[in-house]
Amino acid sequence: MENKKKKRSNDKKKDNNKLKILNIISVILNIIILIFFIVNTYMILKYDILPLKYLVLYFLIAIVIPILILVLFYYKKSKFKLKISLLVIDFIYVLLFTFATIYLNKTFNFLDEIDIGIKYITKNYKVVVSKDSTYQVIDDLEKKNIGYVEIDNTDYKVALGEINKKITFQNKSYLDSTTMFEAFGLKELDGLVTTDTYYELLSENIEKFKDDYRVIYEFSVKEKEEEDDITKDVDVTKDVFNVYVTGMDTYGDISTISRSDVNIVISINPKTYQILMVNIPRDYYVVFPGQTKKDKLTHAGLYGTNMSIRTIEDILDIDINYYVKTNFNTVISLVDALGGVDVYSMYTFNYGFYYKKGYNHVNGSQALNFARTRYVLPNGDIDRGRNQEAMIQAIITKATSMTILTRYTTLLESLKGTFMTNISTDKITDIIKMQLDKMPKWNITSMTLSGFGDNDYTSVFKDTKVFVMHPDEETIKKAQEALQDVRDGKILESSYEENTGGEVYTPFRPTPSPVTPDSSKPVVPEEEKDEEEDNKENDENSDIKDDDTNNNDENLNDKDVSDGKEDNNVDDENKSPSDSETTNPDNNTQTNPSDTPSTNPDDNNSDTSKPDDNPTITPGDSENNGDASDIVINVTE
C-alpha cells in the first residue's frame, strides 16, 4: 500500500511539474503574442492601410481567439492533452504574427523610403580628347584648353569646378558642336567636357566620333533639384487622376538626368475602375513651355521631369497630378520580382529574343527588350509605344492578382531605389486600401498618338537636322476626347484580350547560321559592323540586322537594322525620312518606308499600304551568345 501511495505521490509531482512547464511555456508564448499584437496594431493604425472589414477580422483573430485559448488553458477541468493542443495553437499564432510583422515592416519601410519628389539630380560627365593626342589622364590637360557646347539646359559651371579640383585649365564655350570640332582641328582645343547624354548624341550624329575621340576622365555631380513641386493632389479613391510615367534611357542611379524615351499618361477613374493609357512618341516635335524653338519630346527629360510634365499637359490639355520616373533597372527588377509577366504581342517578331503573336511569358531582360524594340516592327516607334503600354498592362494585371502574396517582400526589396515619384505615402496607402477592400477588375484601354516624320533642328542640336515627328492633331484630339470620357465616368473598350488560360509562349534566343549576302540582300557596311562590335558589351541583344529574303509583293519590304542598338541609347537623331521611321498620312501610323510594301521595290518613298491580317516575322539565326547579328526578318501583316 505504501508503495502505491508513494507512486501516486510521485506521479502527482510529475504531473504538477509538467503543468508548471506548460504554464511557463504558455506565459512566454502569450507574452510574445501580446508584443507582436501591439507592434502590428501600431503599424496598421499608423498607416491606415487595412479596410474596415479586414480591420475587424484582424482584431477578431488577434484578440478574441487568443483570449479564448488562454481561458481554456487555465480552466481547471482542462485536460493535459487539451493544454498541449492549445499551446500548439499559440505557437502557430506566434509564427503567423512573425510573418505578419515581417510583411508589415517591409511594407512600411518601403513606403518610408520612397523618394517623394526629386530631391536631387545626378549629371554624369566625360572629358574627351582626340584619339591621336598624347593625353592619357586628366592630369595631362594641366594648363590646356578645354571646351564645351552651350546647351540651354546644362550649366557647365559645376562640372568645370569639379575638373578644376584636379587641374588648372582654360575653358572655352561654343554655340554648336561644328564650331567646337573645327577648333579641335585647328589645335585651338585640347579636350572637351560633355554630359553622358550629349556624348551619346555626338556619337550618333558625328560619323566615326568614337573612332576619332576617346574618353580620359569620367565623373558625376549631384545637384539639388531647384524645380517647384507641381503635384496636384486629389482624393485618389474618388476623383479621376492622371499619372505621368516617364522612362529614362539609362541604367543605374534613378536620379540621373537623361532623355525621356517613354512618355505615357495613365488616367485612372477609381469609381468606374477604368484605366486609359496614352502614349506620346519620343520624337514628337513640340515647343517646351518657356521656350520659342521646337524640340523633340524626349529631350524634355534633359531639363527635368517637370519640363516633360508641363509639355505633355500642353499637348493633351490636361492636368497631370503625379509622376513616376523609371529607367531600365526598374523594368528588369520589377518583372523579375513578380516572377515574370504575361505580355500580349501584336506581332511575331525576332529581335534579340523570338516573340510570338499572343501572350508571351517574359522575364526582366525579355520584358525590357520587348518594350524597347522598334526597328523590326511595322510601325516603328508607334508599335514600340503600344508594346510599352502592353507591358504596363501585364505588370498591373500581375501586381493586382492574388499571386502577388507569395512574392510580396521580394517585390518591395527589388523596387527600392529604382524609381522616383511625387505620390505621397498617404495616397499610396489609400490606393492599396481601396484595392484590398474591393479587389476590382480594372478595364484597361490604351492609345498612341502619331504623326509624320521629318528632319529638323532642335534646341539640343542647333547645327544638325535630326529626325522628328510632327504631331497628328487628329490623334491628339481623339486622345483628349478619350481622357474626357474617363473623367465623365464612361467605360471604354478594353484594348487587351483576357488571358483565360490559353497558350502562353516563352521567348528564346534563336541560334543562327551565317547568312551569305547577295545582290538581293542588304549588306552591312564595314564601319557599321565595327560600330556594332564596339557597342556589343553594352547589350548582347543589340546587334541585329534584317535580310530581304521574301520577294512577295504582299509582304512588307525588309529593312537593314544592323545599326539598331536598342539597348545602346541609340537615338537615330540624324536619320532622314527616307531611312528612318515616317508616317503614312492616310492611316496616321508611323512606319518605316523600308518596312512597307511598294509597287517599286527600289523606291523607298512609295506610299505605304495597309498591312495584312496575320503579322508574322520569320526568325533567322543568331549566334549562341545571343547576338542576333544575322537575322532574317520577313514582316507580313
At residue 538, does pLDDT exceed 70? Answer: no
Task: Report the share of the chain in percent with pLDDT over 90.
Answer: 33
Please name the residues in contact with 155: beta carbons below 8 A apart, sequence gap of 6 or more.
none
Angle at 118 between CA 112 and CA 123, to 5 degrees: 125
Q: How far is Cα 73 from Cα 59, in angstroms, rounded to an integer?
A: 21
What phi and psi, each to the nearest 5 degrees, are found at residue 118?
-90, 110
Q: What is the pLDDT of residue 501?
A: 67
Residue 349 shares a structural domain with residue 380: yes
**pLDDT > 90? residue 469:** yes
Cell of residue 409, nine digits:
517582400
Residue 388's Cβ-count burial label (10 Å; 0-12, 13-18, 19+) is buried
**Considering the domain boundaries, does residue 229 fall inside one?**
no
**What does the pLDDT read at residue 606?**
34
pLDDT over threshold 90, residue 429: no
The fraction of the chain above a pLDDT of 70, given in percent, is: 76
**Which one of 224, 249, 268 terminates a domain?**
224
What average pLDDT does the segment 612-635 reach? Answer: 33
Q: Render pLDDT for 285-312 as a digit per residue (tens, 0 to 9).
A: 999 998 888 999 998 988 888 899 999 9
Q: What is the pLDDT of residue 403?
A: 73
Same domain, 476 and 595: yes
Question: Each residue of 172-200: pLDDT tens digit?
Answer: 988 888 888 888 888 889 999 998 888 88
Phi and psi at 17, nearest 5°, equal: -65, -40
The grid cell for 80 is 493535459
E-strand stretches of 5-157: 120-130, 145-149
- Has residue 6 been placed in a domain? no
Question: Of 62, 96, 113, at which residue does a domain stop?
Answer: 113
Please state, in angstroms and rounded to a whole number, the distance separating the CA atoms of residues 238 and 241: 9
Does residue 248 sit within a domain? yes
Q: Hey, what's the cell of 550?
A: 521574301
User: Where in the sequence is the domain holding 125, given as residue range(s)?
Assistant: 120-224
Pairwise CA distance, residues 541 & 184, whole Å: 35
Same domain, 187 and 54: no
* Least-confidence region, from 105-119, 167-181, 349-363, 517-531: 517-531
Average pLDDT, the chain: 77
Other beta carbons within 10 angstroms of residue 166's beta carbon come to 15
Asked if residue 487 and residue 382 are part of one domain, the reply reads yes
Judgement on whether residues 49 and 74 belong to the same structural domain of the protein:
yes
* 282 and 336 together in one domain: yes
Backbone angles phi, psi at 446, to 5 degrees: -130, 150
Q: Does residue 273 sit in the same domain as residue 375?
A: yes
What is the residue type of 629? S
> Is the model's pTM score more than 0.75?
no
Q: How many domains does one find in the chain?
A: 3
The answer to whether position 167 is within a domain reads yes
pLDDT value at 578 more than 50: no
441 pLDDT above the threshold of 90: no
What whole-number distance in Å separates Cα of residue 521 and Cα of residue 291? 46
What pLDDT shows up at residue 156? 84
- For residues 397 and 527, membership in a common domain is answered with yes
User: Which of 415-429, 439-453, 501-515 has the largest mean confidence?
Assistant: 439-453
Q: What is the CATH number of the domain that holds 202?
A: 3.40.190.10
Which H or E run includes 349? strand 349-351
Give the containing element (helix H, strand E) for 488. none
Q: Which three cell numbers stand for residue 553?
A: 509583293
How large is the greatest C-alpha to C-alpha distance in the chain, in angstroms? Answer: 121
Radius of gyration of the chain (CA): 31
The average pLDDT across 489-500 equals 85
CATH of the domain at 435: 3.40.630.190
The predicted structure's pLDDT at residue 5: 66
Task: Write out pLDDT tens, residues 103-146.
Answer: 888 888 887 777 454 467 788 899 999 998 999 999 999 999 99
Residue 234 domain flag: no
| For helices 305-316 and 473-487, angle between their N-to-C axes, nearest 10 degrees | 90
| 30 within domain boundaries | yes
Q: Which of 38, 11, 46 is nearest to 100 (CA)?
A: 38
Are residues 202 and 209 in contact, defined by beta-carbon separation less than 8 angstroms? yes
Query: Which has the minimum average pLDDT: 207-211, 343-347, 365-369, 402-406?
Result: 402-406
Q: Is residue 3 part of a domain?
A: no
**Is 571 in the same domain as 514?**
yes
- Is the pLDDT score of 591 beyond 70? no
Confidence label for 635 from pLDDT (cuts 50, 70 and 90): very low
Residue 565: pLDDT above 80? Answer: no
* Interval 46-105: pLDDT, tens: 888 888 888 898 898 888 888 998 888 888 777 888 889 999 999 999 999 998 888 888
* Residue where a domain stops, chosen among 88, 113, 138: 113
Do residues 246 and 207 share a domain?
no
What is the residue whose three cell numbers read 509597287? 599
Same domain, 408 and 448: yes
Which residues, listed in sequence order, are joined to residue 354 by a DSSP beta bridge?
350, 508
Taking the C-alpha atoms of residue 172 and residue 120, their distance in angstroms, rounded to an integer, is 28
- Give domain status of residue 231, yes or no: no
Cα dihedral 207→461→248→471 (10° resolution)? -110
Q: Both 392 and 464 in a single domain?
A: yes
